Structure 1
Amino acid sequence: MKPAQHPISDLFGRLRGDMPPLTKPEMSQTISFARITLIVGLVFLHYVAYPNSMNSPFDGMDPAAFPLATFVNSFVLFFFFSVVPLLSMVSGWLYFTFDSDRAMPALRERIWKRVGSLYLPLVFWNTLYLMVAMLACVHLPNHGFLAQLNFQPAEAGFMQHVNAVFALTAHPIAFQFWFVRDLLVTVLLSPVLWLALRHAPYLGMAVLGVAWLFGHDLFVFFRTDVAFFFYLGGFLRMYRVPLHIGRGATIALLLLYVALVALRTLAPLAIDVQPHRPELLNLATRAMRPIGVLACWGLCLQLARTQVGAKIARYGGLSFFVFATHFPLIAAVKLALWPLLPVESDGWMIAHYVASVALTVAISLSVGMFIARFVPTVFAWMNGGRVLPVAARETWAGSVPRGA
């Protein structure tokens, strides 16, 4: 790899201010912190709508019914729209670590490894969820849980069953795995991306960027979010662009992003988003994500270096497990807790929202740590080959009474 000066380098130079360069351990800790916290953000996003709401949080708040509760739900959803782009950038940054003189052997090795760490877990988890859905279809055919899925076993044809597990041409039953499927497709195309990064970096960035901005799937992706931001991460790595963002820049970016997210959430007050959102509004929603990526990355940089952040980062190895288990678990938890509300009001709906996410994350973390503690090889297989660090396993072991 060769260092080069680019406008993007100048941009990060202005953003980092007086922040010193990150050491390798600091970068590793920041990435671990980012992974686990961003996946928790994804759980909030996949709560989707309140059980009593006819309004999709993807449209924005509902001015007519429970405006405060729907504002909170929609605001958090739009805020965490930066999760997939940022995780994709981190993946691209980590992927393109090889020297140019051994690019092809390195790419072949990485592609083969990613098939095992991405696609095999995708097939495993979706097979498991398909079995759960089929059992629910037989024993609980009228339960609201089935309606939360994007797949109905009793009505699905052969190809729908295939896609439910393998995600070939449509989203799998655990729809969060669309990200893993698109990441794998991006990895399979990484030799092409590497050639573009090597010989025409801005042309490749423009092609993928325009496709992403206007929502074109380029015929092979579900969405081009992963490919575009993966490419950006590879660009940052290949051209050695420093990733430091100072505290002042982080605060400024975060305030700007919060303001943009709030405006997007309030859009139904000024724009009719029913029955179809205006394309210009969709375009604006996508356009604010790069700001969110910078703001969230800067926030992760600042928080990961604190004592609390360091402790949270120790559980970065659980991020894939939480990602894999949080849906449809969040759907089941949401429906189970809803009858406990004393009254359907804004306050209680927000409490239900937070409690559902908290319980889902707690269950996922507890199950993951239990399996990692007592059958680490099984956990690693379910976790895409990712082993939970010994320190995290010891923390779990310390919380379990001896002989339990």
Structure 2
Amino acid sequence: MAILQPTLLRADHVAATSRARSLPASLPTTIEVARVMLVIGLVFLHYFSFPNSRTSPFTGFDPDHHPFATFINSFVLLFFFSAVPLLSTIAGWLFFGLAAHPMATILRRMRGRFSSLLMPLVTWNLATIAAGFALYAIAPTSGLLGEFRFDFGEPNAFGVLDAVFGITGLPIAFQFWFVRDLFLSVLLSPLLWLVLRHAPLAGVVVLGASWVMDFDFWIFTRTDVLFFFFLGGLARVRETPLDIPWRTARLLLLAYALLMAARALAPLVVDPSAPPHEDLLDLVTRLARPLGVIACWGLALRLARTQLGGFFARYGGFAFFLHAAHFPIIIFVKYALWRMVPEETDAWMLTHYAASVAVTIAIAAAGAALIFRISPNAYAFLAGGRRFVG
């Protein structure tokens, strides 16, 4: 995951960047902007359904109950399905920027990912288990316990291991499926490098087919991370131009937004939960993600040249911490704020939606600032090697 790099860009990446005329001058800033922008998008995505809605935003909007609010929720969720692929692509591009001794560099970076990926994964998931046990001790019948997907009444050693590493399903802090799959991709990087060097197109075909067919090679949660990590490496090896003219990016963004809007409106035409329609809609949504990757990268390039982009880039080191901490914070914030909603109208539902995300980010930021002030080293450990402020 790009947000997990322990420095803005490693020295060898910077050197390679300076030699590649196809790279935009604002590349380091663009990467930081993309990290922050996409992780905030993931916080919106992980709001999931409104507390008063029985319709999952994954299936589209609810045409019968609060159609406007549920459309916005579903559209934003579907739009940010591009977040994981783009972050994986950036991670692959950074990882496979190799020096004169590529295999030695790969092995060194693999060792580094134990501290920047695996150890935070273990720590944050154990902290989430502890938070769940605290809630269970205070309110053992709370419906919020279901959000943790863990049996706090009868815990066992395998259950804890499963919750931390996602052996049979998602980790208890479910957002860490991404970190888990990225770490597995890194472990496979020597093999991926050989494929990139000697059979890149075959690699694209095999990994692309597995991604389209949702084949997980028995060890991945999904192959999104592996496939786009490989594509990022391919772009680095081939020195693919990374600059996208803003005019082109705007057209791509519009096309992607219209596709996701149509997908959110699909319940007007078909039953998205019926097996034939469900599979077809899933395939269409999946195939649209590469378009979203390019469009969102183009947006990040544009933002990198603005004041807002400068602000995002300064706090790029907060992106991993926010990714790690936003669950379970958001579930507590979501249901606490719902009690303050005066009436269940579309306007109040969307106000609650935005406020839940904003308060979640604020709490995570306050916690990050406090930890960083007390111990920058502790913050760096929790944030995959990053500083709070760049």
| 1:95 matched residue in structure 2 | 95
Q: Aligned partners of 1:269, 1:156: CA distance in 2, in Å?
A: 44
Q: Aligned partners of 2:373, 2:24: CA distance in 1, in Å?
A: 30
**RMSD of aligned residue pairs (Cα, Å):** 1.5
Is the 2:22–2:239 contact (alpha carbons within 8 Å) kept by the matching residues of 1?
no
Q: Aligned partners of 1:256, 1:350: CA distance in 2, in Å?
A: 24
TM-fit CA distance, 1:388: 2.8
The within-5 A match list for 1:98-247 is: 98-99=98-99, 101-154=100-153, 158-247=157-246
Amino acid at match of 1:145: L
TM-fit CA distance, 1:119: 0.6
Q: Aligned partners of 1:152, 1:67: CA distance in 2, in Å?
A: 35
Q: Aligned partners of 1:98, 1:91: CA distance in 2, in Å?
A: 13
Q: Aligned partners of 1:150, 1:115: CA distance in 2, in Å?
A: 26
| 1:264 matched residue in structure 2 | 263
Amino acid at match of 1:57: P
Q: Aligned partners of 1:264, 1:202: CA distance in 2, in Å?
A: 30
1:288-327 CA-partner distances (Å, limit 9, x unpaired)? 0011001100000001111221122100011000001001
1:378-397 CA-partner distances (Å, limit 9, x unpaired)? 111111222234xx5xxxxx
| 1:399 matched residue in structure 2 | none
The within-5 A match list for 1:8-87 is: 22-23=23-24, 26-87=26-87
TM-fit CA distance, 1:375: 1.6
Q: Aligned partners of 2:313, 2:151: CA distance in 1, in Å?
A: 38
TM-fit CA distance, 1:22: 4.4
Amino acid at match of 1:254: L
| 1:281 matched residue in structure 2 | 281
TM-fit CA distance, 1:37: 1.1
| Greater mean alpha carbon deviation, residues 81-90 or residues 166-175 | 166-175
TM-fit CA distance, 1:275: 5.3
| 1:294 matched residue in structure 2 | 294
3-state SS of paired residue (1:305): coil
Q: Aligned partners of 1:155, 1:350: CA distance in 2, in Å?
A: 38
Q: 1:23 to 1:373 in 2, by over 3 A?
A: farther
TM-fit CA distance, 1:23: 4.8
Q: 1:377 to 1:346 in 2, by over 3 A?
A: same
Amino acid at match of 1:256: A
Q: Percent identity?
A: 49
The within-5 A match list for 1:220-369 is: 220-274=219-273, 276=275, 278-369=278-369
3-state SS of paired residue (1:340): coil
Q: Aligned partners of 1:308, 1:138: CA distance in 2, in Å?
A: 43
Amino acid at match of 1:107: I
TM-fit CA distance, 1:157: 5.0
Q: Aligned partners of 1:143, 1:169: CA distance in 2, in Å?
A: 25
Q: Aligned partners of 1:95, 1:77: CA distance in 2, in Å?
A: 28
Count of equivalent residues: 369
3-state SS of paired residue (1:34): helix
3-state SS of paired residue (1:288): helix
| 1:370 matched residue in structure 2 | 370
3-state SS of paired residue (2:339): helix
Amino acid at match of 2:381: W
TM-fit CA distance, 1:374: 3.2
1:189-223 CA-partner distances (Å, limit 9, x unpaired)? 00111011000001001111111111111111110
Q: Aligned partners of 1:331, 1:112: CA distance in 2, in Å?
A: 34
Q: Aligned partners of 1:180, 1:363: CA distance in 2, in Å?
A: 22
Is the 1:144–1:335 contact (alpha carbons within 8 Å) kept by the matching residues of 2?
no
| 1:402 matched residue in structure 2 | none
TM-fit CA distance, 1:104: 1.6
Q: Aligned partners of 2:166, 2:47: CA distance in 1, in Å?
A: 22
Q: Aligned partners of 2:329, 2:229: CA distance in 1, in Å?
A: 28
Is the 2:368–2:388 contact (alpha carbons within 8 Å) kept by the matching residues of 1?
no
TM-fit CA distance, 1:50: 0.7
Is the 1:150–1:175 contact (alpha carbons within 8 Å) kept by the matching residues of 2?
no
| 1:16 matched residue in structure 2 | none
Runs of 4+ in 1 over 3 A off after TM superposition: 20-24, 155-158
Q: Aligned partners of 1:156, 1:353: CA distance in 2, in Å?
A: 33
Is the 2:24–2:243 contact (alpha carbons within 8 Å) kept by the matching residues of 1?
no
Q: Aligned partners of 2:327, 2:146: CA distance in 1, in Å?
A: 13
Q: Aligned partners of 1:361, 1:172: CA distance in 2, in Å?
A: 21
Amino acid at match of 2:253: L
Q: Aligned partners of 2:311, 2:221: CA distance in 1, in Å?
A: 35
Extract unaligned runs of 5+ from structure 1: 1-19, 393-404
